[in-house]
A and B are shown apart, each in its own frame.
Chain A
Amino acid sequence: MIIGNYRTQLYDKQKEEYLPATQGLGMFVEVKDPDEKVILSRQYGSEGRFIFTSHTPGEHQICLHSNSSKFALFAGGMLRVHLDIQVGEHTNNYAEIAAKDKLTELQLRVRQLMEQVDQIQKEQNYQRYREERFRQTSESTNQRVLWWSIVQTLILVAIGFWQMRHLKSFFEAKKLV
């Protein structure tokens, strides 16, 4: 699970400082998974929080666009974006978990360790998947290199034959042979 929080502040050129909160400025958040499929595509206000869960391992893309057209009119406009992305184990609010399950300090610490180990396991699964893909790619590359070498040798030999045959018939026509 991934939680993203953001907060935007617009720069006020007259006061030369960042305004506390921007009115009317929205951010469009788009999240794509490794297969370029859009998981999340939503408009939020100047402050927002988005949550999503990854279903495939790999590189996900999070894009934040400003959608305000009137903002774009400010030449040299600057926007300060405060961003906080929490992934995996860090999404847990331990104070909340402790209160809900009524855990002692030791139990909470052990729960945190379990979450960390969970994350390590997920990462190792990902690496195992990557190694498998790599092995498949290597084997297909090996096949392609072998096939290409054979084809290139055949082309070379065929061209050699064609050259000799063509020149021979050319010289015979010219009555030089």
Chain B
Amino acid sequence: MRFGFGFGFGFGSGLLLLPLMFGWICASELTFELPDNAKQCFYEDITIGTKCTLEFQVVTGGHYDVDCRLEDPDGTVLYKEMKKQYDSFTFTASRNGTHKFCFSNEFSTFTHKTVYFDFQVGDDPPLFPNENRVTALTQMESACVSIHEALKSVIDYQTHFRLREAQGRSRAEDLNTRVAFWSVGEAFILLVVSISQVLLLRSFFSDRKTTTTRLGS
């Protein structure tokens, strides 16, 4: 999947466990919402010897970090990182079967996060399914292939740029909220302190007057 515009994916409630599986394509990109104290797992069938890449980035939420864990069909942990903001991991599948990768937000109490991940399995399928690989490509065709690869990397850079922009915007909005609260709070504290200063000062002089009167009589 490639996203021309920013894309989000939300999970509805009603199911106790919702594993997600990609069966038909070679590369999957998804931006999904991870609620607080939740863990979301994805599964992918991979054949032995395939080179795969998992890349993820936290787009919005809290301290912009998430736990990630990748396991092979036997349960062996291939990759495990706690509280990572962005990472990329390449591996070669050593056995056939369903590999599983999970993102966990269990350390966070109330911030839900939006996480983007890109799971690339093997190479992209060729344009022609029954392409005859025996005959060499003409110069034009190989030029087209190299332009195609270059454009793919341009689209990839654009995706990263879009994610960074979304993350920057999210941080700026958090900052705006915090500054707004602080300003209102500070104005309120200012008023409270100035009024209580005056009242306290008045109370000092009121007591002394009573004492003076008693001493005089």
Contact = CB atoms under 8 A, between A and B. Distances in A.
Partners in one complex: yes
A159 interface: yes
B24 A84 contact: yes
Contact of A141 (B10, B127, B154, B176): B176
Interface string A71-93: 01001111111111111111000
Contacts of A88: 2-4
A18 B84 CA distance: 33
Contacts of B217: none
Contact of A159 (B14, B22, B190): B190
A154 to B, nearest CB: 11
A52 B208 CA distance: 80
B6 A85 contact: no
Interface stretch (B50-58, B62-70, B101-109, B196-204): B196-204
Interface of B: 1-25, 30, 43, 127-129, 138, 140-141, 144-145, 147-148, 151-152, 154-155, 158, 161-162, 165-166, 169, 172, 176, 183, 186-187, 190-191, 194, 197-198, 201-202, 205, 209
Interface of A: 5, 7, 28, 34, 54, 57-66, 72, 75-90, 94-95, 105-106, 108-110, 112-113, 116-117, 119-120, 122-124, 126-127, 130, 134, 137, 141, 148, 152, 155-156, 159, 162-163, 166-167, 170-171, 174, 176
14 contacts: A61-B9, A66-B15, A76-B17, A78-B15, A78-B17, A81-B19, A83-B21, A84-B22, A105-B141, A113-B144, A127-B161, A127-B162, A127-B165, A162-B194
